[in-house]
């Protein structure tokens, strides 16, 4: 099994004719992703890659196709409008790759998304990969293999590193979800961990966090009360100085909060095994989580 997406997921690409949208659409198609159509205002009637129609809007797409998911590559100033348009059309899963979306825009988006029941992954995220079935976003498909480890991450680069390390040790993933590291996003650790907990094929969970915010501490509380599968975590930014942003907009320690040490302590209390380095994760999983909780 997998969570959120599989080989049957019908996808549209918003921003498909732009440089990034077209490049990554080709990569997704090569992996086997079922891209049904694309959306670029003013480009309706075009066809790309031989048989993928381009529409002016999501509203026009859904007149002709049943769509499960939209992936968004539009510039930051148009991203909020694109997300809301997809949600208005009843698309249940929306993946926004775009970085630099203003926090004020995302606050409005989050309020609307919550009101209509669509699920948003991102923004500023690498997307979703179900190895061997589909990739929706920018996670390289060749670095992962199918398996029984569920992966959820705030960091794109570390996502790639961990997936590749798992593959090197003959371990694979059910699904990998990059939730993004912006201060306001659509899906958090708890949302994804709950799905992994309910997925019969997912036997172990890897969680990749980073400094800033309280998402990891909140996930720790949830894991303590609701998760009986082994969880191993890595928290990036352990040496980051207070007040200095490291990578993502949300990765900053301010006012004494958001420190890596606090997150690690909370996770240990909840029975989560902590990796000191990403490359330790595969051996911890292979050794049935004989890692250090101290």
pLDDT tens digit sequence for 93-125: 999 999 999 999 999 999 999 999 999 999 999
Which residue's structure tokens are 């890659």? Answer: 49
Query: What does the pLDDT look like over 204-227, one tens digit per residue?
Result: 999 999 988 889 999 999 999 999
Output 256 or 133, whichever has higher pLDDT: 133
- Is it the case that residue 255 has pLDDT exceeding 70? no
Answer yes or no: are the C-beta atoms of 288 and 174 closer than 8 Å. Answer: no
Mean per-residue pLDDT, 133-153:
97
Helix, strand or coil for residue 185? coil
41-97 tens-digit pLDDT: 999 999 999 999 999 999 999 999 999 999 999 999 999 999 999 999 999 999 999
Residue 169 a catalytic site member: no
| SS3 at position 202 | coil
Q: 52 has which bridge partners?
A: 48
Structure tokens at 39: 């959306």
Cα–Cα distances in Å, from 113 out to 12, 67, 109, 129, 215?
A: 18, 17, 6, 22, 19
Chain center to CA of 176:
7
Predicted pLDDT of residue 37:
98
Instruction: For each of the domains in the chain, give its residue range(s) and CATH number, in order of start.
Output: 10-121 (3.40.50.720), 139-286 (3.40.50.261)
pLDDT digits (tens, 9 = 90+) for 4-50: 999 999 999 999 999 999 999 999 999 999 999 999 999 999 999 99
Active-site hit among 24, 169, 248, 277: 248
DSSP single-letter state for residue 241: P
Pairing of strands 93-96, 119-121: parallel
Q: What is the mean pLDDT of residues 265-270?
A: 96
Residue 235: closest CA among 144, 162, 129, 147: 162
């Amino acid at each position: 099994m997998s969570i959120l997406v599989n080989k049957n997921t019908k996808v549209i690409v918003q921003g498909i004719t732009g440089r990034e949208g077209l490049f990554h659409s080709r990569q997704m198609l090569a992996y086997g992703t079922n891209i049904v159509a694309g959306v670029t205002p003013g480009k309706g009637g075009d066809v790309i890659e031989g048989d993928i129609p381009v529409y002016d809007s999501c509203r026009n797409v859904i007149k002709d196709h049943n769509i499960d998911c939209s992936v968004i590559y539009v510039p930051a100033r148009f991203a909020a409008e694109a997300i809301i348009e997809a949600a208005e059309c009843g698309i249940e899963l929306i993946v926004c790759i775009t970085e630099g979306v203003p926090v004020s825009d995302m606050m409005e988006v989050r309020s609307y998304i919550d009101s209509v029941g669509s699920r948003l992954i991102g923004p500023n995220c690498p997307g979703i990969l179900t190895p061997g079935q589909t990739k929706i976003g920018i996670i390289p498909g060749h670095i992962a293999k199918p398996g029984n480890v569920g992966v959820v991450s705030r960091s794109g680069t570390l996502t790639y590193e961990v997936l590749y390390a798992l593959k090197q040790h003959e371990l694979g993933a059910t699904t990998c979800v990059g939730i993004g590291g912006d201060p306001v996003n659509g899906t958090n650790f708890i949302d994804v961990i709950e799905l992994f907990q309910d997925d019969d094929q997912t036997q172990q969970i890897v969680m990749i966090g980073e400094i800033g915010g309280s998402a990891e501490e909140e996930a720790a509380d949830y894991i303590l009360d609701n998760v009986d599968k082994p969880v191993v975590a890595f928290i990036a930014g352990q040496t980051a100085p207070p007040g200095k942003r490291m990578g993502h907009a949300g990765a900053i320690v301010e006012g004494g909060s958001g420190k890596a040490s606090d997150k690690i302590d909370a996770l240990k209390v909840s029975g989560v095994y902590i990796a000191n380095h990403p490359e330790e994760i595969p051996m911890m999983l292979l050794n049935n989580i004989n890692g250090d909780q101290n």
